[in-house]
Structure 1
Amino acid sequence: GTLDIEKAIQKGERHYEPGVLAGANRGLLYIDEVNLLDDHVVDILLDSAAMGVNTVEREGISFAHPARFILVGTMNPEEGDLRPQLLDRFALSV
């Protein structure tokens, strides 16, 4: 998700626009090529999955929303290995 900084500055309102993690709340989050994600994105995914909350921070403004989801990831092993911190979180690897 994102925070609308212009609204925050002009009107003093926190306006949150939901993103992928908010949309996956109480459902599934499917990620293709999970092994190719940037480390920063992996950290956010794992923190949100473990805590059940995602915090969006921008320009000193923060907004937390529920992010309880089941992570389903697919990958092509020929394109790279799965990071150990992700491998620990998956119940099945075929």
Structure 2
Amino acid sequence: MISPTFAATAYDRARHAVAPAQGLPQGVTNAAADFARVMEQVDLDAAGAMTGQTDTHDLVHSIARAEIALETVVAIRDKVVEAYQEILRMPV
């Protein structure tokens, strides 16, 4: 069975994998950094709610922002994959 401490440690070690990559266009880098900030804030608010340091209203607001951000990123990813597949179907 996985303990909460083990899960938190594994999550912390994997965070660098979702950091924005270097060498991308500035708009993409800014969008990725904004997304990472939103996700980091929801993590902080969730931890604060568990320890009693964050108001429940703030947590709910943060979760709603994270949900919108995630839906946006997924929609963009779907469009990029769709465009890539369209390029692969083009005759050479």
Question: Aligning the two structures, in what range does the TM-score lie when normalised by the shorter sequence?
Answer: under 0.3
Larger radius of gyration: 2
Between Structure 1 and Structure 2, the one with more strand by share is: 1
TM-score with structure 1 setting the length: 0.23
TM-score with structure 2 setting the length: 0.23
Between Structure 1 and Structure 2, the one with more helix by share is: 2
Q: Larger relative contact order (C-alpha < 8 A, sep ≥ 6)? A: 1
